[in-house]
Amino acid sequence: MSGAGARGPRGGASRGGAPRGGAPRARISAARLVAYDVLRDVEERDAYANLALSARIGDAGLAARDAALATELAAGALRWRGRYDRIIELAAERPIDRIDPRTRNVLRLGVHQLLGMRTASHAAVNESVELQRRVANASAAGFVNGVLRAIGRETDAAWDARIDAEARTADDALAARSSHPGWVLRALRDALRAEGRADELEALLGADNDAPRVSLALLPGAGIEPEEVAAREESLAVVGPSPIGLELSGGDPARAIARSGAAHGFARVQDQGSQLAALALARAREAAAGERWLDLCAGPGGKTAVLGAEALAAGARLRANEVSAHRAELVRRSVTGVAEAVEVVSHDGREAAAFGGDDARFDRILVDAPCSGLGALRRRPEARWRKRPADLPELTALQGELLDAAVAHLAPGGLLAYVTCSPHLAETRVAVERLRRRRPALEELDARAVLQGIARGPLDLPEGPGAAQLWPHRHGTDAMFIALLTRAA
């Protein structure tokens, strides 16, 4: 086999039986081949893991059980990549970047089976060796065998002890054990420290590594209440802080939505932190008929759908802008149930066209700004390995420009919600402080009090007024930041 490995017609690992003129290959489970392809797509093509998984599972025609195995293999190997890479380095006695990328991915999948899934050692090692022969350099199969056997001889606790013993600093050890880049770990600690809760860091890191439960949003106007849905569909429960939220205990979300009894387009998968962010703008004060609302950075449309449902109920109109034409189409699909209240456009959010002209004014504006995404590491396990500290200046500059554009089109007395799916202080508190220095006519409202009035039950938030930071370990949501501001009338 060539060093590049055999490739199928869609660019994935070949599922064929035997090379021409050769003996039949040992069988490798389709789930493991799919998981390998996903890791390769993420690393070589910058694919999103969830989209790559869906496509590869569909291409392979996996049954539900094998699809679940492929998902656990790929997501687990991506989530724990930092820890597994350090363990591989220790076992192989060489830096991870000196191992061929294809072999690295084979090893990551093997280590996850050994340490993360408790797969029988012989099965994990043997399948990994065969996978190496199939997709990477066959001559390195012995290397894969030796490294995985060495890893399988030690316990999780023993590997953590070795990580600690050979780390240069306590932060380096914690970063490796918790599978977070060091700069992300420090940013999360700083954000917790700002709330006086730096001692919760390890709990937050642990929550980032837990696969999240699927949450659904039941939009206002669905014709049925969350409690009624839970009573008729046993896989759904009224759990979580959002008053329109439900939690799926397992199974296919599409099936649960179909059985929910909700009107078409009124039930959807959505993190409950995202639900609360949209509701905070819609319910911060009573809406009046005829109000004009704007979602400036609308894609892919989850918050837009919530705002659209609220606008429809209040007699308001919502303009949804998304710079990407492809994502704007996703927004249109997301608002099918409330389309009569929503207009979707595609423009750069810093330009007047996004607002409908220089003189356009809106009573409520949501700026759900592009950000580092450090608040969604549970659901996007690959994101932690893609972002760099050097990304922050460009992101924070864009966030500031979008906020300035929004304020220029905010009606006197209007409400502005600034939302990021990140707890990084540069993207949250610092961004708001800088905005208020540039725009002294803005007054910050008590977003914490607004959320306490909206949430299904009391939220564990710091005492005192101010912006609200949600956390996966504390609230079971993405780490969503929500600030509310108003322009003097």
- Between CA 156 and CA 5, with CA 86 as vertex, the angle to 5 degrees is 105
Cα 324 → chain centroid? 19
Beta bridge pairs of residue 419: 368, 482
Active-site choice (111, 421, 432, 467):
421
List the structure tokens of 85.
């890479």
Is 421 among the residues known to form the active site? yes
Please provide the DSSP assignment of 358-420 as one string: TT--EEEEEEE-----GGGTTT-TTHHHH--GGGHHHHHHHHHHHHHHHHHTEEEEEEEEEEE
Q: How far apart are the first and last CA of the chain?
A: 72
**Is 24 exposed, middle or buried, given 0-12, 13-18 or 19+ CB atoms closer than 10 A?**
exposed
Q: How far apart are CA 439 and CA 383, in angstroms?
A: 33
- Flag whether 408 is marked binding: no
- Other residues' Cβ atoms within 10 Å of the Cβ of residue 370: 18
- Flag whether 371 is marked binding: no
Please provide the DSSP assignment of 140-183 as one string: GHHHHHHHHHHHHTS-HHHHHHHHHHH-SSHHHHHHHHHT--HH
Nearest CA-CA partner of 108 in 88, 132, 94, 136? 88
Contact partners, residue 398, CB within 8 Å, separation at least 6? 369, 370
Phi-psi region of 466 (alpha: psi -120 to 50; beta: other; left: phi over 0): left
- Flag whether 417 is marked binding: no
Nearest CA-CA partner of 39 in 56, 17, 25, 26? 56
Please provide the DSSP assignment of 212-250 as one string: PPEEEEE-TTSSS-HHHHHHH-TTEE--SS-TTEEEE-S
- Flag whether 387 is marked binding: no
Whether the CB-CB separation of 159 and 173 falls below 8 Å is answered with no
- Flag whether 172 is marked binding: no
- Flag whether 359 is marked binding: no
Residues that are catalytic:
421
Which residues are known binding-site members?
297-303, 322, 348, 368
Which residues are known binding-site members for S-adenosyl-L-methionine?
297-303, 322, 348, 368
